[in-house]
Every structure is written in C-alpha cells, then in structure tokens.
Amino acid sequence: MQHKNISFIRWFMQHLRQEYKKKKDLYKVLSRNPTVTIEEDVQILNRKKLFLGNNIHIGKGTILHCGGGAWCNYGGSISIGDNVYIGPYGIFLGAGEIEIQRRCHFGPGVMLIAQSLHPDTIYDETLLDAVIPPHKFGKITLEEGVLVGAGAMILEGVTIGRGSAISAGSLVQKDVPPNSYVITGKTAKFIDKNSPLFRPK
C-alpha cells in the first residue's frame, strides 16, 4: 500500500511539473506577443522556434510542434503572420518548417504536417526498429489570405497560393495555384475562383 502511495505521489509531482512548464511557456509566448490570444489546453513544443505576428487567435487544444529534436537534425520552425485565426484542435507539426502568412483562417481540426516517414522504411523494415524511424521533411507555405476548412490536411512540401480556399476534409499533397478552390475527394481538385465552375452558394 505504501509503495502505491509513493508511486502516485511521484506521478502527481511529475504531472505538476509538466503543467507548470506548459503554463510557463505560454506565459513567455504571451508576454512577447500581447496581441496574441491563446485558448486553454494549447500545447507548444520548442517555443523558441515559434514566431508570431500580431492579432493571432489560437483555438483550444491546438498543438504547435516546432521541431528542434535530434530526430529532425534540430531543424524546423513555425512562423505565423498577422491577423491569423486558428480554430480549435488543430495540429501543426513543423519539423520541416511551416510558414503561415498574414490573414489566413483555419477551421477546427486542421492538420499541417511538414514531415512523414522516409520512403526507405517501405523497403527496409529494420528501420522500424529504431525508436524514431527516419523521416523526410518539407516546408509548408500558406501565402496571404488562405482559407482552410475543418479537418483538412496539408502535407510536407506543399505551397498554397495567395487567396486560395481549401474545402473541409481535403487532403492536399501538391502545390495549389493562387486564387484556387480545392474540392475534397479521393484527390484534391483545383478550380480557379474566376472560372464559371466556381459558384459558391
């Protein structure tokens, strides 16, 4: 019984230290950026590689992983420009670098993933024995005024052109030209906003 109590106390103290570190990191981010709003349960990993503009809103439960570990050669960063809104429960994995320019808007549950398992793991399964298998990395860039619908996923190496809109649930694996509308489906389709096919209701 005493052993269980000691184990619980150790777990509880570790939990308190982790929560304190999270609060401390958020306080430091907010003290540097007083016009930034961060809702509860937001997690920021490697805050020194997070660069924020002004008038940014980061929704509840969002994860911002800015890379920086040995597994990504200490690379990666997340840069967010002015007047950006990020809805709740987004996941931004920036080991390959993420750049979000000004006036972008993200719905709930959006994922930007600037890394993936290296394709060599398909041919050499022994690589999966590593604690962290090898990854490949690619910068994700969202140019000014991009709208991303709920649950959309944008993968490494993709650039979304200025003024484009990504529909909810889309999987975007290649570059999107400026002023395009991406329709969800098995593969993303681009429609120029000036095309007669583009008729938003």
CA torsion angle 47 167 55 48 (round to 10): 10
The pLDDT of residue 201: 46
Q: What b/e string do you get for 110-120 counting C-beta neighbours within 10 Å, with b at 16 or more? A: bbbbbbeeeee
* Same domain flag for 57 and 152: yes
Position 197 in a domain: no
> Quick check: 83 and 102 in contact, CB under 8 A?
yes
The pLDDT of residue 178: 92
The pLDDT of residue 146: 95
* Same domain flag for 55 and 126: yes
- C-alpha to C-alpha distance for 2 and 78, rounded to whole angstroms: 46
CATH number for the domain spanning 160: value is: 2.160.10.10
List the chain residues with pLDDT less than 50.
186-187, 197-201
Position 198 in a domain: no
* Same domain flag for 77 and 172: yes
First to last CA, the chain: 65
Position 199 in a domain: no
Residue carrying the six token digits 């959309």: 152
* Same domain flag for 116 and 26: no
Beta strands in 9-66 (DSSP E): 37-38, 43-45, 50-52, 57-58, 63-65
The pLDDT of residue 108: 97
In terms of phi and psi (left: phi > 0; alpha: psi -120 to 50; beta: otherwise), the region of 134 is: beta
* Same domain flag for 56 and 126: yes
Q: Over the Cα atoms of the chain, what is R_g?
A: 19
* Same domain flag for 16 and 52: no
In terms of phi and psi (left: phi > 0; alpha: psi -120 to 50; beta: otherwise), the region of 24 is: alpha
Position 51 in a domain: yes
DSSP string, 68-89: -SGGGTT---EEE-SS-EE-TT
* Same domain flag for 67 and 96: yes
* Same domain flag for 15 and 40: no
Full domain range(s) for residue 99? 36-192
The pLDDT of residue 120: 66
Tokens (6 digits) for 150:
């709920």
* Same domain flag for 98 and 21: no
* Same domain flag for 5 and 72: no
DSSP string, 132-177: S--EEE--EEE-TT-EE-TT-EEETT-EEPTT-EE-TT-EE-S-B-
* Same domain flag for 61 and 9: no
Position 129 in a domain: yes
* Same domain flag for 175 and 83: yes
Query: 3-state DSSP call for residue 1?
Result: coil
Position 58 in a domain: yes
The pLDDT of residue 28: 67
User: Number of structural domains, the chain?
Assistant: 2
